[in-house]
Structure 1
């Protein structure tokens, strides 16, 4: 028995995944007595009670947002309301399996030239939806949201519920088939999207930038592929009978992600691998940019070992110091130059181009807790919770000077921050 434990321990060390250390008495006390944690949790519950749209600046329910606060919503809403939102996305599912970005009541859909193109379905009489086609995370986000709903409520019967001619379980798999049939690079064994900033939904070309156009430059990135990996992990767990179909896909996707997108010498993910040439000039070294959000999601997908996670965290902290930003929610560092995006809001340190988003920063905190970096998780979480308390709200993002901007009731931030705090508190109570 001793030999077995010795071999196991050596295996962890060789992989850079040394067993987690315990939590100190001082840290335990700090977690349990932190005033900003209590404030944030209470405020999060208040905010999530008021609806399902992304925040006060949005009319739609967006799947990439709902995925990050559905667990918190389960604390204050009955199952039926949570399920109904998921059903709407399934009812509006395209005939090729694609999932829309967001839905809105048909009476509130604003039809303007150059604005959103709305999609309707005979299965859904009340809502219509739209799709920001530069993204490749809608399908993965819905799978993850269903997984979180089932895990939180225990309602596995939902998977057998029929919507139109397909069950929820079949529709989940259909959405993954869409990615493989319509967003797949056979040369790389990875899914592609448009050239956006890390996890963003604004491409480099076009003044708005949410739709694929003739000027779109297609590429591979870590965020989209890590999101699909998480979704496949979720499907395999929810539907074990489908393991023979999806595990080989999952394993190859993971292998190809590290093969094509991981820069071993620099211990970071390459921002973009272009399918038909970069949109940027040859003298612009895009690989100098470190993507915070995509890296956090890659860790959630299980792509990095503990040693690589620590290296990534150290880089994030160094980037925060170099930029002067408020937290590791900093989207990326350095940001893209002002000329890199046509959308005027994508200036350096603006919006998704180096804005500071708790929405992703808190996901990194969750992974630090999961992998046993308790002290680091606590230290990097404090700037996020303290500014919620200071500004009395969950703002969408913060400037490089830590000034709040965007929606002040951004439910995605509330959801991920609440979960990060809860994970730390659970560790401190054990």
Structure 2
């Protein structure tokens, strides 16, 4: 037994059933100690950004703010933080924050405290302050979809029963349209979680879909950003209602598609197949429209947005949409990585997107992935100082998006590239342990060839960046995916590298520990589960290796060999409890021998 296996065997034994709490989330990766150290940094950032207060009714509000320089809770950040934070914190640390956004859902007359905007019944605030103020950025269209993502993470932990929880609030849903309520009369003065989520996405569909093409619209930001270039807007994150520059952003289409799929899954968990089918159809229509209007096959990625007719065109004669005097389609936006991560793009599209992002990193001279936009808009296209070329949302490098890109690379079957990118970020973190920057300028100081941190964000504890990198490690490299209904999927992507992980869904009674040890002739996986049933178990084959046989404990196991992207996997069914999987491997035959065997099989199917 290797030292790595011995250490993790002791850890598993220490937390055997009946020994108390489940083991905490941790991982070992001897090949790259900097990857191991990322957990310590992430936990430090989560601790620094955790907040709690009581609202006007005395109800607790807990969650994770983006960073110390951003004191409120932001719904869009919470959506990216909680999938990782739940590996370290129980629901009590963030569930009240999710519910607080639902409790403050807009009614017909609700006004944002910052600018007085009345979004309309069903809309959700984007920002909650500890003094009770709320705000909504009118320049963006991802606040409802982000909160649905955070709610879905909670649904995966708490189950369907949470969706029926009554959430009373400052505005009730009697003021909003509710398509499904006629079929199921109920007192909407005390709506359930699912009713509030449905009303939120219905608001987006009713108020932010362009009539001409069916796409979700927003102001002119980069794509995912919240800073608009409109100089007449009352502040950088809001629209000028009279002359707003409207765009259909890839980012909004992807998050709205994901939110519709998640809402459908939640309705299905409650037994409402009809409502689920409605949202799945809306998701399919949105995806088709985005592929029609935004996908660029000659470039291999989606354009960041499409310019739309503004409000002045809606009531008068047809008029041309405003455009830049250059080809915006050549700008590669990081929301393409989001499309790949959530499964919005097809496998062929995903392959092209990830290759384009890797090439953009090299072209930009960036030392790690997470490049928000390449090439950026020219300086002073946006009137804000921090939006100059190569900075902030206009071409800055973000750990937040690096984590998304790396997880997408792992899941799409490009593990070697993903591991290279993960090591790049891990080594950058090693230069400032315990800190995660919000963004950095993409340039290098010529004297040291290190990132130019003089033009980096003030935030040094950016929780979304910590969270997406944790997910890139947990769900990407180690392949532990906690799913709704108590389900688990494990895809060990370590290949030729040894490693170990304990992944615990805190507060849900579910955990997995495994140790993976490759050798020249075999791959060995020892694992233990808590609180889960049988699950899909895939192990990535090292390059130029084939599987000859698989045993589960002492018995031969039925398995298949699957290909995803450039990766090949041994696939079998994992059993709950304590088990050992051994994959006997052999060198792959040369290409000409593989073709000969395939030809023989086609002529004589019974030959093997």
Deviations 1:165-222 (CA, angstroms, capped at 9, x unpaired): 2111011111110111110112111110011112100011238421111442001111
Between the aligned partners of 2:378 and 2:86, the Cα distance in structure 1 is: 41
Deviations 1:5-24 (CA, angstroms, capped at 9, x unpaired): xxxxxxxxxxxxxxxxxxxx
Query: Contact conserved, 2:122 with 2:203, CA < 8 A, in 1?
Result: yes
Q: What is the aligned counterpart of 2:470 among 409, 415, 418?
A: 418
Which position in structure 2 is the counterpart of 1:123?
A: none
Give RMSD over aligned pairs: 1.9
Structure showing the higher helix proportion among its residues: 1
Which position in structure 2 is the counterpart of 1:159?
A: 163
**Aligned counterparts, 1:76-225, within 5 A:** 76-95=88-107, 96-106=121-131, 127-151=132-156, 153-164=157-168, 165-206=190-231, 208-213=235-240, 214-225=242-253
Quickly say closer, same or farther: Cα 1:340–1:360, change in 2 above 3 A: same
> What's the offset of the Cα at 1:298?
1.3
Q: What is the aligned counterpart of 1:314 among 355, 372, 375?
A: 355
Between the aligned partners of 1:77 and 1:190, the Cα distance in structure 2 is: 37
> What's the offset of the Cα at 1:32?
4.9
> What's the offset of the Cα at 1:278?
5.1
> What's the offset of the Cα at 1:232?
1.1
Which position in structure 1 is the counterpart of 2:330?
A: 288
Query: Contact conserved, 1:394 with 1:408, CA < 8 A, in 2?
Result: yes
Match of 2:34, SS? helix
Q: What is the aligned counterpart of 1:355 among 388, 396, 400?
A: 396
Match of 1:397, SS? coil
Deviations 1:37-56 (CA, angstroms, capped at 9, x unpaired): 11111211122123111012
Between the aligned partners of 1:287 and 1:83, the Cα distance in structure 2 is: 40
Relative contact order, higher structure (CA 8 A, sep 6+): 1
Q: What is the aligned counterpart of 2:258 among 204, 224, 230?
A: 230
| TM-score, length-scaled by structure 2 | 0.60
Query: Contact conserved, 1:49 with 1:77, CA < 8 A, in 2?
Result: no
Which position in structure 1 is the counterpart of 2:597?
A: none
Deviations 1:58-93 (CA, angstroms, capped at 9, x unpaired): 111111111111123223333223210011100111
Between the aligned partners of 1:212 and 1:420, the Cα distance in structure 2 is: 34
Residue range with higher mean Cα deviation, 206-215 or 364-373: 206-215
Between the aligned partners of 2:86 and 2:93, the Cα distance in structure 1 is: 9
Which position in structure 2 is the counterpart of 1:272?
A: 305
Between the aligned partners of 1:32 and 1:238, the Cα distance in structure 2 is: 40
Tell me whether 1:252 sits opposite 2:324 in the alignment.
no
Match of 2:413, SS? coil
Query: Contact conserved, 1:218 with 1:275, CA < 8 A, in 2?
Result: yes
Between the aligned partners of 2:463 and 2:321, the Cα distance in structure 1 is: 35
| TM-score, length-scaled by structure 1 | 0.84
Aligned residue-pair number: 379
Query: Contact conserved, 1:319 with 1:333, CA < 8 A, in 2?
Result: yes
Between the aligned partners of 2:104 and 2:411, the Cα distance in structure 1 is: 35
Tell me whether 1:61 sits opposite 2:73 in the alignment.
yes
Unaligned runs of 5+ in 2: 1-27, 51-63, 108-120, 169-189, 310-319, 444-450, 480-491, 495-515, 517-538, 540-608
Match of 1:184, SS? coil
Unaligned runs of 5+ in 1: 1-29, 107-126
> What's the offset of the Cα at 1:280?
4.3
Quickly say closer, same or farther: Cα 1:415–1:385, change in 2 above 3 A: same
Which position in structure 1 is the counterpart of 2:441?
A: 399
Quickly say closer, same or farther: Cα 1:325–1:278, change in 2 above 3 A: farther
> What's the offset of the Cα at 1:395?
0.6
Match of 1:220, SS? strand
Where does structure 1 differ by over 6 angstroms across 4 or more consecutive aligned residues? Answer: none
Between the aligned partners of 1:350 and 1:172, the Cα distance in structure 2 is: 35
Tell me whether 1:408 sits opposite 2:474 in the alignment.
no
Query: Contact conserved, 2:218 with 2:246, CA < 8 A, in 1?
Result: yes
Residue range with higher mean Cα deviation, 209-218 or 268-277: 268-277
> What's the offset of the Cα at 1:301?
3.7
Between the aligned partners of 1:194 and 1:374, the Cα distance in structure 2 is: 36
Deviations 1:140-173 (CA, angstroms, capped at 9, x unpaired): 001111111221x234322111112211101111
Query: Contact conserved, 2:257 with 2:283, CA < 8 A, in 1?
Result: yes
